A and B are shown apart, each in its own frame.
Chain A
Amino acid sequence: MTPIPTLTTPRLTLRAPEARDVPPFTAFYASDRARFVGGPLDAEGAWRMLAMEIGHWQIRGYGRWMVEERESGATAGMVGLFCPEGWPEPEIGWDLFEGFEGRGYATEAGRAAREYAYDVLGWDTAVSLVKPANTASAAVCRRLGATLDGTFAHQRHGEMQVWRHPAPEEVSDGGMEAYA
């Protein structure tokens, strides 16, 4: 099995999803917060989704991390790199659990995931897919310096906005990042 790396940011630890994440993941997918990411789902659907997130790492060699608030140890959400079959191209995605929104965690973890994609995996571009009504997620895209680059219609998720992130060279010179 591909080992899943751990990343750290000033406030967060991004670590491999595990069995102990079933309860918070199930709670998230049962809630209205999951309405833009394929939810709400029942416990069975959420369990399979978490299993899928873990298997994604093995199939693609990258995936999404559980985001932990380092100070409290609480699981704040799931952020990372995602590309199931039928996705237009690999994306950077984020889900924050109830009570962890409004603190800049999606931006902080999303930036770490993007750095990993660019610096470790060698991606030369990245997108984020956002449901049109998900204004909070679009705001994260803007904070990360991404710009709207068309739309994509998915067989299950329907129409999604494609936000294109600044290229590696635009990020590494600090230009876009400085505004985040």
Chain B
Amino acid sequence: MTAIPTIETRRLILSAPEPGDYPKFKATFTSYRARFMGGPLNDYEAWMLYAAEIGHWQIRGFGMWMIHDRETGATCGMAGGWQPAKWPEREIAWVIWPEVAGRGIALEATHAARAHFYEDKGWSGAVSYLDPRNYDSIRLAERLGCRRDPEAPSVDGTDVVYRHPAPETLRNSQIADAIELELQSHAGPIFGRREEAPA
């Protein structure tokens, strides 16, 4: 079996999805939150998808990690690589549980996952297939430096393809600096904490 590596970032630990991590996955995928990811699913479909997330690693040698808060250990969502049969290219994908959205967790996790694929796995690029109505994800793709690629084949014509900057483009780029700055601001509130703001 392919061993699933663990990735640590400032605030997060990305590790293999475990059986105990399933409840929050199920809650998200059986909810309206999953509407841009083929959902909402019923209980059976959600479980089958979770098992497939794990099996994906064995078939492709890469896959989606479970994102944990470093301090509490609580799960926050999933991020990583995804390429089932119909996917034209390797995708960098993410899903964040609704209750922890807005904290830059997806950015931090996808940035780390992409760095792993580029630097440790030799990927020369990646795409993200997004629902054009999924503004949160489109915004994240743009923060990651992705550009819409209208020439690239999509999964089924209902999604749009965002192409990630290649490793050499990303290295020492303004995008990389911007990501770093945004993650710093989430980790240590250099822009001023709310309670310190002038009255």
Q: Give the B-binding residues of A (Cβ under 8 A).
A: 1-4, 16, 18-19, 22, 26, 43-44, 46-56, 58-60, 84-86, 154-156
Contacts and interface: CB of A to CB of B under 8 A. Distances in A.
Nearest to B85: A47
Given A1-B1, A51-B52, A155 B60 contact: no
Contacts, number: 95
Contacts of A85: 43-44, 46-47
B16 A59 contact: no
A59 B85 contact: no
The residue in A3, A19, A44, A85 that gathers the most chain B C-beta atoms within 10 A of its C-beta is A85
A156 B42 CA distance: 9
Contacts of A47: 59, 84-86
Contacts of A3: 1
A59 to B, nearest CB: 5
Contacts of A84: 44, 47-48, 51
A155 B22 contact: no
Contact of B4 (A1, A16, A60, A154): A1
B44 A54 contact: no
19 contacts: A1-B3, A22-B85, A48-B48, A48-B49, A50-B59, A51-B53, A52-B51, A55-B54, A55-B55, A55-B56, A56-B55, A58-B19, A58-B55, A59-B51, A59-B54, A84-B48, A154-B44, A155-B42, A155-B44
Question: Which are the 4 A-B pairs with shortest beta-carbon distances?
Answer: A54-B55, A55-B51, A55-B54, A51-B55
Nearest to A46: B85
A3 B2 CA distance: 10
Nearest to A4: B1
Task: Provide the main secondary structure of the chain A interface.
Answer: helix
A95 B48 CA distance: 18
Contacts of A1: 1-4, 16, 58
B136 to A, nearest CB: 25
Contact of A44 (B44, B60, B86): B86
Interface of B: 1-4, 16, 19, 22, 42-56, 58-60, 84-86
Contact of B86 (A19, A43, A54, A86): A43
Contacts of A58: 19, 51, 54-55
Given A51-B52, A55-B50, A59-B22, A18 B58 contact: yes
Contacts of B19: 58-60
Contacts of B58: 1, 18-19, 51, 54
Nearest to B156: A44
Contacts of B51: 51-56, 58-59, 84
Nearest to B3: A1
A155 B53 CA distance: 22
A89 to B, nearest CB: 15
A16 B2 CA distance: 12
Contacts of A43: 85-86
B54 A48 contact: no
B156 to A, nearest CB: 9
A72 to B, nearest CB: 24
Contacts of A46: 85
Contacts of B47: 84-86
Nearest to A45: B85
Contacts of A56: 51, 55
Contact of B50 (A4, A18, A59, A154): A59
